[in-house]
Amino acid sequence: MIYDIRHVTRFDYGHAVKFARCNLRLQPIDWPGQQVEDYALTVAPAGRTHPARAEAGLANVTRLVIEEPVRRLTIESRARVRVDRLVPVPQADDPTLAEVARMARGSTDLSAASPAAYLYPSPLIPPDRAIADYCAPDLDPSRGALEAGIALARRIQRDFAFDAAATLVDTPPHEAFAQRRGVCQDFAQIMISGLRAAGLPAAYASGYIRTIPPPGQERLVGADATHAWVLLWCGPARGWVGVDPTNGIWMASDHVVVAIGRDYAEIAPVDGVVLGAGAQAMDVSVDVAPLDEESAAAAAA
Amino acid sequence: MATQPALFDAASHAQRWIEEYRTHDLRGDVLAAGADPAWMAAFEELAAVAGDDLGQARERVQRHAADIGTGFRIIDEEFERPWPVSPVPLLIDVQEWRTIERGVAQRADLLETIVADLYGAQSLVKRGHVPATLVTGSPYFLRPLVGVAPAGGRHLHVVAVDLGRGPTGEWRVLSDHLRMPSGAGYALENRLAVSRALGGLQGRINVRRHAPFFAAFRAGLASACHRADPRIGLLTPGRYNASYAEQAHLARYLGFLLVEGDDLAVREDRLYVRTIGGLKRVDALWRRLDPRLLDPLAFDTHSRIGVPGLIDAWAAGNVVLANSPGAGVLESAAFAAFLPQLSTRLTGADLILPSIATWWCGQPAEAAHVRAEMASMLLSSAFGHPLAALAGTTPGAELTAEGRAAFLTDLERRPQDYVGQEIVRLSTMPVVIGDRLEPRPFTLRVFAARDGDGRWQVMPGGFARIGEHPDPRAAVMGEGLWSADVCVHGAEAVAPVSLLPAPDSLHIRRNPGTLPSRVADNFFWLGRYLERGEALLGAIRLMLGNSIDADTGAALAPETVGRLVGEIVAAGAAPRPASLRRADLVPFARTALEAGEGGWQSVAQINAHARRIGAVSRDRLSADMVRLLDAPFPRQPGMLERCGSLQRRYAAIAGLSAEHMSRTAAWRFHDLGRRIERAAATARATRAFGLAGASLDDLTTLLDLADSQISYRQRYLTGIARVPVVDLVALDPGNPRALAFQVEAIRAHLAALPVLDDDGMAEPQQVEATALHALVTTAQAATLDAGTLGEIDRRLATLSDAVAHRYFLQGAEALRAAGLTLA
């Protein structure tokens, strides 16, 4: 499947902003099962952009510097991504959760893709007893890792209500957990918290899901904005397997990964500092359209 | 010989103290083997200054510490607490010290090698010598810094190591401090306080000095910079940090600029400080800011105290950071467990100073050992994260059955979060409790810094923390804890070290360098607040009937009192009283003098503003000045007495700033603030009391407010008349209290302060000052009217704004751009 993605972020500032430096983590990464074929970033008014030096998570980062006073900033990110990811099927010989935990602890890889990087609490996902207890029934150490992962994602999808008004971008996991409602970020953080409490390596994935469902299927939740879900490392053979607790499904060909980190703070699509007084308003629109084979061929030619 | 009995007494007091001390259980005490001559000398010196009263000796040392300005803050407390320093130093023989010195230097070299590998080739992890999870567990492993070679070539410039002395006298490492090694300033201050109190001891037992260590540290940091005469800053989180006082002291001692994040800016990957002369390059920072807050672009976007772009400047090799931001990864208790084997592997040598035995449960064998032996261990967080099953560091033996079960369950799930450590028994040392010596366990913090050749120099001494608990590691400075000076002594006399560099290596500098904009701002407002407080106090005193004019008696005419009340109300110091009767004026005066709430700009409030500025300027103010600013509000029973006491304090402060501050740019801003405030006050007083139709009481009041009674009498023998009074108070450039005098001083200051361009054009604040000067010098006393005086007042406000705009940080609020709508 090939997707054309258009992600527009508009900032309106109450007063002119004097000096802004931002990190843009908008260009999708190449990742098993997906490849970025084309990418364009447009900023208006045009600031200086250059690739940022290094990052905490797995992300393509562009540093944006605007030195002229601006009252409005528009960032448009366009990507064409080929996604070719099968729905994972749990097998009897999948490593158990106990084996996954043990192998992760023994890792000799310090890179950002290593399970070792995702075993510990992170700033936005501190350890939480209640969440750990809630997740524990699905995480018996002797259970197969994939089977356990999808079971927990489905239980969260069943037990929690999607409610965009219930939480904010900085609502901590324990609050969303207590009210059993929230959005994709909350569900992903709750699931990650539970997995890590059980000693498992779990990462936060941000990205997109297709806007219009295939004929005869329902539209997925989170299709008109950026989406977030969970990656669980399932041993060296299986690698990172994605599960989406908002929809109770696997990450497969409807999902496009933009960035992977320990939590949202590491891979926020736009963050940074602006100098100025007064409020800012932000508006985001996302469109993820599958390209049919014909137009894809035409585009390639 | 009058001194002999005293000396004899001192020796006998010391003897008796020690005998009394030896009635305690001293197994493992530093005096277990008896008091050697050095300890005897220390106690004799104590007795020589305090007689038989140990409590007095303690207070004496405390008083010196307070004089030096040492303090520390408990988080969320408004006032600093006095630094608890014990009068009895810890004495360590130079032979014993050599082992510590070699051990700490060896350890620092090892730590440098490991940090460089973790942020470089990572071969220790790839080869399996260091588990990846031992690194990622630390909140101070900063992945964005992997692959960055540190500017200046080194990750570590200054380290601190906490040591414990075991009961048999062997020293072992309790913890390493690489992120923000604090306490070097306390060591300095303890030494200062104790040597002021026990002056004779230093020479008597040849105590090694601290100064060469600090000189070496300075030279080491400077040699890592590109420029020959580098500008070095000490980056502080600000005055609410627990050790702000220590940071200010160190900055002053080392000659570093004390800066906050706001003072710094990064342009084109270079670091600058905002000064009154524009942006100036900064070559190195000793950072006392948590690494994760250093740069909101690199780490935590929420940080409002960091410097956006600092990490890029560091990665580009343009600014040296002491220490490199990711160095804290080695501080974890878990990592300490690996140092002995890493030392052998990497250097072929064992650690001279062993660490306390630590088992990291992230490895199966170690976890099994802790499970089996937990009853005899201290259980703790491997990386400082909050734990699911332990409230904090806990002796395994103290766990309840439930707690034990919870610990074992979580140890199964997340073994990597836990360490077991041997329970250390620490050696004790004498400390004064009440008026007796009692043994208390202690730890020793030792500091090492690289010198100009990149070699480690260890500060001879350090500081000792003395606690109530047998293992004081968990305790923070606070109630029940003491610190002590640590004296390394020996038979050899200490060479008289000259701290002065060779004469040809230092050029003379009369201007002490760059004045950061923040400091200029603070000094300007310190001047304004002090002058404002003094003027308000003068008005209150006059209103209370304290005129010095015997002719008019104590009572002023009601119209004049009414005008005084009007001025105090206009200053926002108190609400208008219901009447001018004494019953209403006394509470009115009380509000204006000392209201602490209600939003009134009382004298007490203005003093509080000045005190806050003093608190953040202590690296540049004399200790006397800070003490005067910090002095509590007077408490005499009578309001007039309180006024008098305040008046004398203001006079003392004014005297200090006039006579003791060097004529630097900082002083100019301080004086500029005073002059602008005084000019405005005089313009307003002249308008209230000096216009046509003014009564004799009005004119007397004006002379009093302008502190010009005596000048007037010396000039005019004929009595008080309006035009000469107005001329003296407003227009006479020879009267240091006159408006004209202030305006001339303002113009001179602004002419002397730096300008941004050398095109010879006046800057806006200079234009304003010149215009104001012209307005005042061309005015005539007979025709000076309310309109002109109002115009002068307005122009002073404009001038103040122009000064602020040109020289001070413009408090632009940083907003976060983070946060997208998610679904």
Residue showing tokens 């080491």: B220
B267 near A CB under 8 A: no
CA–CA dist A156, A173 (Å, integer):
13
CA–CA dist A186, A181 (Å, integer):
8
Interface test with A, best of B138, B314, B815 (most A CBs within 10 A): B815
Query: pLDDT tens digits, residue range A62-118?
Result: 999 887 888 888 999 999 999 999 999 999 999 999 999 999 999 999 999 999 999
Return the CATH number of A97-266, one of 3.40.980.10, 3.60.15.10, 3.10.620.30, 3.40.630.10. Answer: 3.10.620.30
The answer for A 86-115 residues in CB contact with B (under 8 A) is: 101, 104-110, 112, 114
In Å, how far from its chain's centre is CA B612?
12
Query: Which amino acid would we find at residue A247?
Result: N
Q: Do A56 and B415 touch (CB under 8 A)?
A: no
- Sequence-distant (6+) residues with CB within 8 A of B510 are none
Q: For the ranges A171-180, B551-560, B628-637, which has the lowest average pLDDT? A: B551-560
CA–CA dist B487, A296 (Å, integer):
79
* Cis preceding linkage at A172, omega within 30: no
B334 near A CB under 8 A: no
- Taking the domains of chain A in order of start, what are their residue ranges? 2-83+268-300, 97-266
pLDDT for B199 equals 75
Task: For residues B370-378, give the mean pLDDT.
Answer: 94
Over 60: is that where the pLDDT of B49 sits?
yes
CA–CA dist B222, B682 (Å, integer):
49
Query: A89 burial class (0-12, 13-18, 19+ CB within 10 angstroms)?
Result: exposed
What are the beta bridge partners of residue B298? none
Task: Say whether B433 sits in a helix, a strand or coil.
Answer: strand
Query: pLDDT tens digits, residue range B712-751?
Result: 988 888 888 999 999 999 999 999 999 999 999 999 999 9
Q: For the ranges B124-133, B193-202, B342-351, B571-580, which has the lowest average pLDDT? A: B193-202
Comparing CA positions, the residue from B93, B98, B73 lying closest to residue B83 is B73
Whether the Cβ atoms of residue A273 and residue A21 lie closer than 8 Å to each other:
yes
pLDDT for B389 equals 85
What are the beta bridge partners of residue A22? A64, A272
pLDDT for A13 equals 82
Handedness of CA B361, B367, B369, B373 (dihedral sign): positive
Query: pLDDT tens digits, residue range B97-118?
Result: 999 999 999 999 999 999 999 9
Q: Do B133 and A116 touch (CB under 8 A)?
A: yes
Minimal Cα distance from A281: which residue of B? Answer: B817
Q: Do B822 and A275 touch (CB under 8 A)?
A: no
Query: pLDDT tens digits, residue range A166-191?
Result: 888 888 999 999 999 999 999 999 99
A120 near B CB under 8 A: yes
In Å, how far from its chain's centre is CA B817?
33
Q: What are phi and psi of B774, to 5 degrees?
A: -65, -40
Q: Do A114 and B132 touch (CB under 8 A)?
A: yes
Whether the Cβ atoms of residue A75 and residue A41 lie closer than 8 Å to each other:
yes
Distance from CA of A300 to the nearest CA of B (A): 32
CA–CA dist B616, B245 (Å, integer):
9
- Architecture of the domain defined by B357-422: 2-Layer Sandwich (3.30)
CA–CA dist B46, B84 (Å, integer):
17
pLDDT for B682 equals 95
Distance from CA of B364 to the nearest CA of A (A): 9
Whether the Cβ atoms of residue A153 and residue A164 lie closer than 8 Å to each other:
no
Q: Both tokens of residue B632? A: 């509590």
Helices in B479-632 by DSSP H: which ranges? 517-543, 558-570, 582-594, 603-616, 623-630
What are the beta bridge partners of residue B489? B93, B207
Task: Say whether B192 sits in a helix, a strand or coil.
Answer: helix
In Å, how far from its chain's centre is CA B625?
15
B142 near A CB under 8 A: yes
Query: pLDDT tens digits, residue range B578-590?
Result: 988 888 888 999 9
Query: pLDDT tens digits, residue range B458-498?
Result: 999 898 988 876 555 444 434 457 889 999 998 887 766 54
pLDDT for B746 equals 96
Per-residue confidence band for B141, with pLDDT thresholds at 50, 70 and 90: very high
Distance from CA of B555 to the nearest CA of A (A): 52
What are the beta bridge partners of residue B355? B173
Distance from CA of B654 to the nearest CA of A (A): 37
Query: A65 burial class (0-12, 13-18, 19+ CB within 10 angstroms)?
Result: middle
User: Which chain B residues are Cβ-neighbours of A119 within 8 angstroms?
Assistant: 133, 136-137, 416
CA–CA dist B472, B451 (Å, integer):
32
Distances (CA, A) of B357 to A48, B135, B377: 53, 19, 10
Query: pLDDT tens digits, residue range A215-258?
Result: 777 777 666 788 999 999 999 999 999 999 999 999 999 999 99
Q: For the ranges B303-307, B533-537, B695-699, B778-782, which has the lowest average pLDDT? A: B303-307
pLDDT for B249 equals 84
Measured from the Cβ of residue A49, the count of other Cβ atoms closer than 10 Å reads: 17
Distances (CA, A) of A128 to A125, B303, B528, B536, B561: 8, 24, 52, 56, 67
Q: Do A272 and B819 touch (CB under 8 A)?
A: no
pLDDT for B760 equals 78
Interface test with A, best of B119, B133, B142, B363 (most A CBs within 10 A): B133
Looking at the partner chain, which of A101, A126, A274 has a beta carbon nearest the beta carbon of B817?
A274
Task: For residues B65-78, give the mean pLDDT.
Answer: 61
Comparing CA positions, the residue from B732, B756, B772 lying closest to residue B805 is B756
pLDDT for A108 equals 93
What are the beta bridge partners of residue B29? B428
Q: What are phi and psi of B442, to 5 degrees?
A: -140, 160
Task: For residues A275-298, give the mean pLDDT.
Answer: 75
A20 near B CB under 8 A: yes
pLDDT for B494 equals 75
pLDDT for B456 equals 97
CA–CA dist A125, A187 (Å, integer):
12
Whether the Cβ atoms of residue B784 and residue A246 lie closer than 8 Å to each other:
no
Q: What are phi and psi of A282, to 5 degrees?
A: -130, 140
Mean pLDDT of chain B: 86
The answer for B 100-119 residues in CB contact with A (under 8 A) is: 118
Distances (CA, A) of A95 to A139, A140, B133: 13, 13, 20
Looking at the partner chain, which of A21, A127, A284 has a beta carbon nearest the beta carbon of B297?
A21
Query: pLDDT tens digits, residue range B636-685?
Result: 888 888 998 999 999 999 998 888 888 888 899 999 999 999 999 999 99
Comparing CA positions, the residue from B383, B384, B381, B376 lying closest to residue B410 is B381
Per-residue confidence band for B550, with pLDDT thresholds at 50, 70 and 90: very low
% of chain A at pLDDT higher than 70: 94
Over 90: is that where the pLDDT of B216 sits?
yes
pLDDT for B2 equals 42
Looking at the partner chain, which of B132, B386, B416 has a beta carbon nearest the beta carbon of A110?
B132
CA–CA dist B572, B576 (Å, integer):
10
Whether the Cβ atoms of residue B486 and residue B90 lie closer than 8 Å to each other:
yes
Q: For the ranges A165-169, B242-246, B321-325, which has the lowest average pLDDT? A: B242-246
Over 50: is that where the pLDDT of B822 sits?
no
What fold is seen in the domain A2-83+268-300?
Answer: Immunoglobulin-like (2.60.40)
Strands (E), B151-211: 158-165, 171-177
Q: Both tokens of residue B291? A: 């690494």
Q: Do B301 and A21 touch (CB under 8 A)?
A: no
Task: For residues B503-507, give the mean pLDDT.
Answer: 46
Query: B137 burial class (0-12, 13-18, 19+ CB within 10 angstroms)?
Result: buried
Per-residue confidence band for B812, with pLDDT thresholds at 50, 70 and 90: very low
Q: Do A222 and B823 touch (CB under 8 A)?
A: yes
Q: Which helix (H) or strand (E) holds A287?
A: strand A280-291
Task: For residues B613-623, give the mean pLDDT.
Answer: 83
Question: Angle, nearest 10°, between helix axes B786-807 and B665-689?
Answer: 160
Distances (CA, A) of B354 to A283, B159, B184, B735, B772: 58, 17, 23, 72, 71
Question: Angle, nearest 10°, between helix axes B665-689 and B639-659?
Answer: 140
CA–CA dist A256, B240 (Å, integer):
45
A174 near B CB under 8 A: no
Q: Both tokens of residue B425? A: 């028994």
User: Which chain A residues are Cβ-neighbours of B386 within 8 angstroms?
Assistant: 121, 126-127
Over 90: is that where the pLDDT of A298 sits?
no
pLDDT for A293 equals 60
- Taking the domains of chain B in order of start, what are their residue ranges? 90-334+426-491, 357-422, 517-807
Look at phi and psi of residue B655 and say left if phi exceeds 0, alpha if psi is from -120 to 50, else beta.
alpha
A18 near B CB under 8 A: yes
Distances (CA, A) of A3 to B253, B261, B295, B659: 63, 44, 36, 76
Comparing CA positions, the residue from B94, B191, B126 lying closest to residue B488 is B94
Question: Angle, nearest 10°, between helix axes B786-807 and B517-543?
Answer: 150
Q: What is the bridge-based pairing of β-strands A202-209 and A255-261? A: antiparallel
B414 near A CB under 8 A: yes
- Sequence-distant (6+) residues with CB within 8 A of B547 are B554, B556, B700, B701, B704
Q: Which helix (H) or strand (E) holds B373?
A: helix B364-373
Between the two ends of chain A, the Cα-to-Cα distance in Å is 18
Comparing CA positions, the residue from B561, B817, B589 lying closest to residue B697 is B561
Looking at the partner chain, which of B137, B312, B815 has a beta carbon nearest the beta carbon of A274?
B815
pLDDT for B387 equals 86
Interface test with B, best of A110, A134, A139, A195 (most B CBs within 10 A): A110
Task: For residues B447-458, give the mean pLDDT.
Answer: 96
% of chain B at pLDDT higher than 90: 51
Q: Which helix (H) or strand (E) holds B801?
A: helix B786-807
Whether the Cβ atoms of residue B423 and residue B382 lie closer than 8 Å to each other:
no
pLDDT for A7 equals 94
Query: pLDDT tens digits, residue range B244-266?
Result: 888 888 888 888 999 998 889 89
Over 90: is that where the pLDDT of A297 sits?
no
User: Which chain A residues are Cβ-neighbours of B417 within 8 angstroms?
Assistant: 120
